Each structure stands twice: as C-alpha cells, then as structure tokens.
C-alpha cells in the first residue's frame, strides 16, 4: 500500500488510468487498492480526487469501447476467446448472457460489480448490435458507480488506511511475500478446478460427419441445442431436427428424453462444456445413449451441413427447415 501511495503521489492520475485500463482489458491487475489510495490522498489534499476519478472512468470507457467494437466486428469469436482463457470455462460467458437477457442494457451497470462479468459484457453488447450511444451512457454510469465507490471509501476511511500502511510497513517484506503467496494459491486453485472440470468432461463425442451420416441413414435421433437464449437470438439456426432446451433446466426436461435412441447434445462453448455437463447429468439419470457433438454447432457449420431456421416468438419456438 505504501508503494501504491508513493506511485500515486509521484505520477498522479495517469497511474490510475493505466491500472484501470489494463484491468478492464481483462488482465488480472486489481484496481481497488489504487482507487482506495487515491481517495485517501484526496482526503489529505495530496491529489485531486475528481480529476483522478475522471481519468479512471475514461480508462474504463476506453477499454470497454474496444471490447464493444471487437464484439460488433468479430461476434462470438471474441466471446470464445474470453471463455478459453477464463479460469471458469463453463460459466464465464453463459452467466453474462443470462444477465444480458434478464436485465438488458441495465446489466452493463450491474456487470461492473460482478467478477468475471465486466470484461465479457461489452463484447456481448457489441455482438447484439446495441447502439453505441446507449451502451456508452450506461457503461459510463456503471464505471462511475463502481470506481467511485472505492474512491469514496478511501476518502471516508483515509485515517484507517494510513494506520494500515504504517502497520504493513513495520512488518516489511514478509507481508508482500504472504500476499503474493495468497494470490498464487488462489490462481493455482482455480486452474486446478479448471483442470478437473475439463477432465470430468472427457467422454465420447460424436463428430459432425457421424451425425450427418446417421441423419442421411434415417436413424431416429433426439438432438438438443443447449445454447443460451442470447446465443440463439444472435445466431437463430439449429441443426435440423434439433429442439432448443436450456442446460440449466436439464433436471426439468430429462424425463422427456427417450431411452430407445441416440441423444445428441450440442452447444457453442469451448470443449463442448455445457453439452458435456448436461450429458453427465443425463447419464446419472440412467440415459446412457447420449453424446456431445464434437465442436458444437460451429463445427457443424464449418462442414457446410444444412441448418434450420429458429424463430422465437415469446414462449413459442418454431423451426422452419432450410434444407
């Protein structure tokens, strides 16, 4: 904390700008300690708090605008990239999509306060072609509320922060080593979770070619599209014969799954994570003839296999075959 204070005193608001920008671009560099320190310095008259907060908000808007543009131009590819590098590959995008569907543009404000969501929301908004002006207003409001809350806390508790800095300085290097060890342990734990999750998801997949061959042979299949509502709204096409169901509701619809035919599940997430997770649940319910589609709907599309148009009208889902 003492080093943070020294950096802010010497370099002022530019330090905050860089820290917040890097964090909002998705790198694990936490800005709250710097924002708290800026508030404490502002309370003691050693920093212009309004200017510092303005620079932090501008940095957040700039980073989010870059992600918004990438989402607008590259769509789902950017979300897949974020999900691949996430420590929680099964939920990073799905959780954000659920917030987007429930809250719409207001979710931009909420996302700032949710770890792992703030970086994913801007490209998602761009992917769904939200008007940039509308996005900008709510993004600026969210950044102001989120970043400003830490600056205000720094102002209110500047005396306590000063006492904390003095206490930490007396403890010396050991504190930094301890904090570094805590961060390293957390990251290692999350990577361990990711490893065991992906290992658990290892099961026999069916390839797009095999699925197409079964369809051409006239086999009776039960195909399920498990993408989120936001995903199918942005890409309203299904594999012919598929029905759209929600992976979070598998316990509700598993009784509908036939036991006398192959069940094919697919999604659009890395490692077929959602499809594999649903397949494990169905296995536990005694449904053994179930396999995720290798590569999901993206792999199906890459082979130029036919797709069916999905039309969503309130709660009614109609499929028109485009073969």
* CATH at 246: 3.40.250.10
Indicate the pTM of the whole model: 0.63
Q: Tell which wins on pLDDT, 204 or 148.
A: 148
Helices (DSSP H) in the chain: which residue ranges?
Answer: 2-11, 13-24, 32-43, 49-74, 76-85, 92-103, 107-111, 121-127, 132-156, 158-171, 173-200, 208-216, 229-234, 250-253, 273-284, 296-302
Query: What is the reported pLDDT for 322?
Result: 41
Choose the final residue of a domain: 148, 170, 200.
200
Q: Which of 72-76, 91-95, 99-103, 249-253 has the lowest mean pLDDT?
A: 91-95
Which residue has 């710097």 as its token pair? 34
Q: Is 19 helix (H, G, I), strand (E, B) or coil?
A: helix
Q: What's the chain's average pLDDT?
A: 78
Shared-domain flag, residues 157 and 179: yes
Shared-domain flag, residues 24 and 128: yes
Shared-domain flag, residues 181 and 313: no
Domain count of the fold of the chain = 2
Average pLDDT over residues 13-31: 84
Shared-domain flag, residues 212 and 105: no
Choose the final residue of a domain: 168, 200, 232.
200
Residue 310 confidence class, pLDDT cut points 50, 70, 90: confident
Choose the final residue of a domain: 200, 226, 260.
200
Query: What is the reported pLDDT for 155?
Result: 87
> Which domain covers residue 59, as residue numbers?
2-200
Of how many residues is the chain composed? 323
User: Which of 270, 269, 290 is CA-nearest to residue 226?
Assistant: 269
Under a CB-based contact definition with an 8 Å cutoff, are residues 264 and 105 in contact? Answer: no
Beta bridge partners of 221: 262
Shared-domain flag, residues 185 and 224: no
């Amino acid at each position: 904390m003492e080093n943070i204070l020294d950096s802010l005193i010497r370099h002022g608001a530019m330090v905050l700008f860089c820290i917040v920008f890097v964090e909002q671009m998705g790198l694990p560099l936490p800005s709250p300690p710097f924002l708290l320190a800026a508030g404490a310095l502002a309370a003691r008259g050693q920093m212009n708090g309004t200017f510092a907060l303005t620079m932090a908000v501008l940095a957040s808007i700039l980073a989010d605008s870059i992600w918004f543009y990438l989402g607008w131009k590259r769509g789902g590819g950017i979300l897949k990239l974020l999900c691949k590098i996430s420590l929680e590959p099964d939920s990073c995008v799905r959780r954000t999509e659920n917030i987007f569907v429930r809250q719409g543009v207001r979710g931009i404000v909420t996302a700032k306060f949710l770890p792992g969501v703030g970086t994913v929301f801007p490209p998602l908004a761009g992917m769904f072609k939200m008007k940039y002006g509308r996005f900008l207003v709510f993004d600026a409001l969210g950044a102001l509320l989120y970043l400003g809350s830490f600056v205000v806390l720094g102002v209110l508790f500047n005396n306590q922060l000063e006492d904390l800095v003095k206490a930490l300085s007396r403890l010396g290097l050991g504190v930094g080593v301890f904090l570094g060890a805590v961060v390293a342990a957390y990251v290692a734990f999350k990577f361990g979770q990711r490893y065991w999750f992906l290992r658990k998801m290892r099961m026999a997949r069916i390839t797009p070619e095999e699925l197409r061959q079964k369809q051409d042979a006239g086999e009776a299949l039960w195909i399920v599209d498990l993408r989120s509502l936001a995903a199918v709204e942005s890409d309203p096409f299904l594999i012919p014969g598929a029905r759209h169901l929600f992976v979070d509701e598998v316990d509700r619809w598993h009784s509908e799954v036939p036991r006398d035919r192959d069940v094919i599940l697919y999604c659009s997430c890395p490692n077929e994570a959602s499809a594999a997770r649903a397949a494990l649940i169905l296995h536990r319910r005694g449904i053994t003839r179930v396999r995720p589609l290798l590569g999901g709907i993206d792999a199906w599309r890459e082979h130029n296999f036919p797709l069916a148009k999905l039309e969503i009208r309130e709660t009614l889902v109609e499929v028109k075959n485009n073969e």
